[in-house]
Amino acid sequence: MTTATTQLPDNLLHAASDERDALDLLHRKIEDLLGGRRAARLVGSDGEAVELPPSALQALEIVVQGMARGQTMRLVSHGKELTTQEAADLLHVSRPHLVKLLDEATIPHYKVGTHRRVRIEDVLDYRERRASTRREKLDELTGLSEELEGGYR
């Protein structure tokens, strides 16, 4: 096994291929800890232990799960401003579509010179609103389908 996960530029993390088994095992252990509402501790090579807060353990689970799947993970802090391409990538839409959303004021933005910038919080808020709307529409369609004779049941 390699000594460390590859640290790519700009807070990108990608596991080496020989780390997958260890990451799978770690992910299962984290799930057990979270499911059992048990405390977790990080123990250093000197034997010193520190308890992990539940929020840190949940963050670790997300990162480890993604890396175990072979995904490259990117850590982005709140308050960060994104370029239009970064925001489009986060939303899984094209940059021209994102620009249309910005021009329609669906997502707030500001300009630095001639370049648009978007706060990550605004992008994440839009993503949640979009997901909520999708869930509502899906529930509505399911309800309509159940009302139809011979419909979904």
Confidence class of residue 153 from pLDDT cuts 50, 70 and 90?
low
Helix axes 120-147, 84-91, angle to 10 degrees: 30
pLDDT, position 131: 93
Of residues 83 and 151, more confidence is placed in 83
| Percent of the chain topping pLDDT 70 | 91
Nearest C-alpha neighbor of 26 from the set 55, 73, 76, 66? 66
Confidence class of residue 151 from pLDDT cuts 50, 70 and 90?
low
Cα(139)–Cα(117) distance, integer angstroms: 34
Decide: pTM greater than 0.75. no
Encoded amino acid at 59, one letter: A
Of residues 13 and 52, more confidence is placed in 52
pLDDT, mean of residues 94-103:
97
Nearest C-alpha neighbor of 107 from the set 136, 80, 128? 128
Confidence class of residue 7 from pLDDT cuts 50, 70 and 90?
very low
pLDDT, position 42: 87
pLDDT, position 82: 92
Kindly tell me if the per-residue pLDDT of 1 is higher than 50: no
User: Residue 111 corresponds to which tokens in the numbers above?
Assistant: 């300009």
| Of 12-26, 49-63, 108-122, 136-150, highest mean pLDDT | 108-122
| Domains of the chain and CATH, by start | 6-74 (3.90.1280), 81-147 (1.10.10)
